A and B are shown apart, each in its own frame.
Chain A
Amino acid sequence: MVDRDFTNKIRRTLIYIILAIGALSVPFFTQSPYILHILILTGIYLILAQSLNLMLGYVGFLSLAQTAFFGIGAYTSTILAVTYSQSFWVGLVLAIIIPSVIAAAVGIPFLRLSRHSFVISTLGFLLICWLIVRNWVEVTRGPLGIPGIPSPKLSVFNLLDLNFAGRVNYYILVIVFVLVLHILLTKLVRSRIGRAFIAIREDEALAQAVGINTMKYKMLAFSISAGIAGVAGSLFAHYITFLDPTVFEFYNLENILVITLVGGSGTIGGPMLGSIIFTILPELLRVAKEFRLIVYGAILLLTVLLMPEGIGGKFKTYLHKRRIREVYAK
């Protein structure tokens, strides 16, 4: 008999390929700017939600600072592009490096704290970033915001010359980022490092007792997640082409909490599902933003109360149970 794991792996790879082709071929079916706009934002929020997922779902630390790293990434990329006329790619690299370095710096004190204090200090960090961006007018222009952020361009000698100004091109760009992130994250959480993350989530003291340097792994996860949030920020800024301190508002935080939790934290597919649901849902609920947030709040509350593992977690349990039944049937 063929090895089950092997067939499963092939099946999973096939599903990914089909999903990838499906996602990339959307522009062949519709070029509606409205639909593409929604899908681009979904992709960006998915990347941000995955950064939260890595901390909350795998390491078990609820970080409210992810939207701060998103904002820092957005501002880094924007200031480089507008003030220093650097290309999107330079901005993108620094939008990964700077949030990661800041995360490592604040992680040294924050990650030593208990999980309670960690949540509150990350919230404090978010608000300090917000305050700094609003008041450091010489660099960020404060509440006025920075307009005219250029679209990304890619030219490789004379062979390739791409401009990501149009919605179709930007959509492809975002999807490529989503796919690359998906593959890298899946690899990461299944690696030795990922298993160390999960061990910390399950029991930090025990993880330490079996020789895992928990501080090192927590720092690593926090930095990686900040870098991922920075990528999302950079993509966001160059898409919207205007940036002001409202990126630090609670709206983004609430959005990714709902996407991650309802989709299922601790699974890579969960937030993906969550981001799709919470892109379609607001379009069905074409009402005031406040009303939508009330509904989101209610959904978040119900999820925490009734289904803390999220849809993704439920699915995982179902697959696990089926597998057990099959093994027993044999």
Chain B
Amino acid sequence: MSAETIFTQHLVNGLLLSGIYGLVAAGLTLIYGVLEIVNFAHGEFYMLGAYFTFIASAWLDLPYYISVALAVALSTFIALIVERGAIRPIVERSFESKVLSTFAISMILANTALLLFTATPRTVKTGLAGTIEIAGVFFSVERVLALLTGYLAFLALHLFLQKTRIGKAIRAVAQNRDACYVVGIDLNKMARITFGLGIGLAGLAGALIAPIFSIEPSMGQAIVLKAFAIVIVGGFGSVKGAALAALIIGLGESLVGGYVSATLKDGLAFLIIILVLILRPQGIFGRATRVL
């Protein structure tokens, strides 16, 4: 393989990773913006999305597209239950309570998955055969599909937040809660929608990744830290910042993993977290409007 093909491969894989990270991080940052909760259980919903896809396609023999839709719907449904039972009661509490509450949810979900599915890695077969050529390199259809769907979902999220009434209300809550009371935005409802939306995105990311990487109960813990890194780099509560940061971290990991070392690739996100927090606590793209 020539140097160029290798580079193309790392580039496309990096873009795929970026898309997936972006979806997970966008949900995390939205939930932070509206509910002021750092959702430690976010990765577990990504894991659930992947497992729901696995159940639907491997056990129920449903086509891949339907499995993905089902996975997103089910993760959102579970998110709404969790929101009702464990998030709403603590919205007004201290930051530590919020962290511990979501940490407990993460413990429950991750270990339930471990109990039900065991630690054995699983794979999802989509039945989609064939490859697609990009700049002289061949990629599986699943990979390209995940990449495109990821970016389309991100575009849809952007349009939703910018153009629709509910999207605007969500942004309003993230900017100024008190003003929302004044103009009559239902904060509880916005919190519920945001939580469901954010988790739905994480579930979608899990469903898209399911046929590409093997899935296991600990996959949520691995990604949530990367999503934290992205949210920190992009600035808490900023979806645009998260998109840019996801591109940097996804591509960075893929290129560092390909050209430097696999260990550094795993540690990259954590190093970035700590460096950014020390040098620019408001995030690279964030504005220092809110003291976090």
Contacts and interface: CB of A to CB of B under 8 A. Distances in A.
Interface of A: 56, 60, 62, 109-110, 113-117, 119-121, 123-125, 127-128, 131, 135, 250, 254, 257, 261, 288, 290-291, 293-294, 296-298, 300-301, 304-305, 308
19 contacts: A62-B96, A110-B277, A113-B281, A116-B292, A117-B281, A119-B95, A124-B229, A124-B273, A125-B274, A127-B225, A128-B274, A261-B100, A291-B115, A297-B111, A300-B103, A300-B104, A301-B105, A301-B108, A304-B90
Contact of B267 (A110, A128, A291): A128
Contacts of B5: none
Nearest to B105: A301
Most buried by B among A119, A124, A291, A293: A124
Interface string B78-96: 0000000010011001011
Interface of B: 38, 86, 89-90, 93, 95-97, 99-101, 103-108, 111-112, 114-115, 221, 225, 228-229, 232, 236, 263, 266-267, 270-271, 273-274, 277-278, 281, 291-292
A131 B266 contact: yes
A121 B228 CA distance: 10
Most buried by A among B93, B97, B115, B270: B270
A232 to B, nearest CB: 21
B270 A294 contact: no
Nearest to A106: B274
Contact of B86 (A257, A291, A301): A301
Given A128-B271, A294-B115, A300-B100, 19 more contacts: A56-B96, A62-B99, A109-B274, A113-B277, A119-B38, A123-B225, A124-B229, A128-B274, A135-B263, A261-B100, A290-B111, A290-B114, A290-B115, A293-B107, A297-B104, A297-B107, A297-B111, A301-B105, A305-B86
A113 B103 CA distance: 21
A114 B291 contact: yes
B108 A298 contact: yes
Nearest to B38: A116
Interface of A is mostly: helix
B100 to A, nearest CB: 5
B22 to A, nearest CB: 19
A121 B277 contact: yes
Contacts of B225: 123-124, 127
Contacts of A250: 221
Contact of B104 (A120, A121, A128, A301): A301
Nearest to A305: B89
